[in-house]
Amino acid sequence: MIHIDIITVQPKMFGGFLGESIVSRAVAKGLCSVSVVDLRDFAEGSYRKVDDAIYGGGPGMLMMCAPWFAAVERCVAAVPDPSGGRRVVMTTPQGRRFAQKDAQELSRAGHVVFMCGHYEGFDERIRTLATDEFSIGDFVMTGGEIAAAAMADAAVRLVPGVLGGGAAAVANESFSDPNLLEPPQYTRPADFRGMKVPEVLLGGDHAAVEAWRRGESLKRTAERRPDLAGGDR
Ligand SMILES: C[S@@+](CC[C@H](N)C(=O)[O-])C[C@H]1O[C@@H](n2cnc3c(N)ncnc32)[C@H](O)[C@@H]1O
């Protein structure tokens, strides 16, 4: 069982995601629970202000410490001593690039708190709340909501029992071996507009199929991701 808190100034962004995604299936199966926490509920004053001008000048506004400390501390206090541990994830383009092994680690935690930034990002002191700072790529989005949804999806589908097909469903996909992409796959028909399924996949020789898949996996990884091929990420 994993509990996920998502702290955001845009809680409505999660309506569709939590209604339709693999996360909603995990919730329905009792394997996951999710709370979307409105950061503004932790702001002081009637304007529910969570941002302020940047010391030293510059365009835009920065998220303030006080609401973030209050929100994260409330989430942490609500789930004391989770089995599997707790991860507090700051979404930031300056973080380490999120990878499958990070999804695997998050899936084993009992409590994951996602911090979705906005505006020009976080006051530097807010970083002290996070156990991890993750980026989903070298580009800048307006907020951390899409990053949090991506990471939550990648983690929750790895929680045992969430996907039909059990452990096998996630055992042989891209990055389950961190240095390999999945080989090409096919379904019926065996011949579509002259594009034929490789003969070896039709013959029923399981050892030959496995050998072919391994070879294709290596070839595809070398072609598309030479940064992965032959090394640790
Ligand atoms: C406009 S961005 C702030 C960017 C910041 N001023 C900088 O240059 O590093 C606002 C928020 O979106 C989220 N964000 C943007 N790009 C992201 C990425 N590639 N990965 C994860 N989060 C991202 C973060 O939460 C960030 O605080």
Provide the residue ranges of all domains of the chain, joining segments of one domain with +. Answer: 2-156, 172-224
Q: How far apart are CA 88 and CA 72, in angstroms?
A: 8
Residue matched to tokens 């899936």: 107
Residue 59 beta carbon below 6 angstroms from any ligand 1 atom: no
Q: Residue 81: left if φ>0, alpha if ψ -120 to 50, beta else—which one? A: left
Tell me how crowded residue 14 is: count the other CB atoms within 10 A of its CB: 20
What is the chain's pLDDT, residue by residue, as a tens digit (233 residues)? 999 999 999 999 999 999 999 999 999 999 999 999 999 999 999 999 999 999 999 999 999 999 999 999 999 999 999 999 999 999 999 999 999 999 999 999 999 999 999 999 999 999 999 999 999 999 999 999 999 999 999 999 999 999 988 788 888 899 999 899 999 999 999 999 999 999 999 999 999 999 999 999 999 999 999 999 765 44
Pocket test of ligand 1: the residue of 91, 119, 138, 151 to mutate, having most ligand atoms within 8 Å of its CB, is: 91
Residue 135 beta carbon below 6 angstroms from any ligand 1 atom: yes
CATH code of 172-224, in short, is: 1.10.1270.20
Question: According to the model, what pLDDT value does residue 89 have?
Answer: 99
Task: Quote the DSSP letter at residue 56.
Answer: T
Q: How far apart are CA 138 and CA 141, in angstroms?
A: 10
Burial 203-231 (b: 16+ CB within 10 A, else e): eeeeeebeebbeebbbebbeeeeeebbee
Question: According to the model, what pLDDT value does residue 233 have?
Answer: 42
Residue 62 beta carbon below 6 angstroms from any ligand 1 atom: no
**Quick one: tokens of 101?**
């092994």
Question: According to the model, what pLDDT value does residue 230 have?
Answer: 60
Q: How far apart are CA 126 and CA 50, in angstroms?
A: 13
Question: According to the model, what pLDDT value does residue 99 have?
Answer: 97
Residue 65: name the closest of 80, 86, 46, 44 by CA.
44
Fold annotation for 2-156? Alpha/beta knot (3.40.1280)
Residue 136 beta carbon below 6 angstroms from any ligand 1 atom: yes
Residue 112: name the closest of 16, 9, 23 by CA.
23
Considering Cα of 128, then 70, then 110, then 5, what sign does the dihedral take?
negative
Question: According to the model, what pLDDT value does residue 231 have?
Answer: 53
- Does the global pTM surpass 0.85? yes
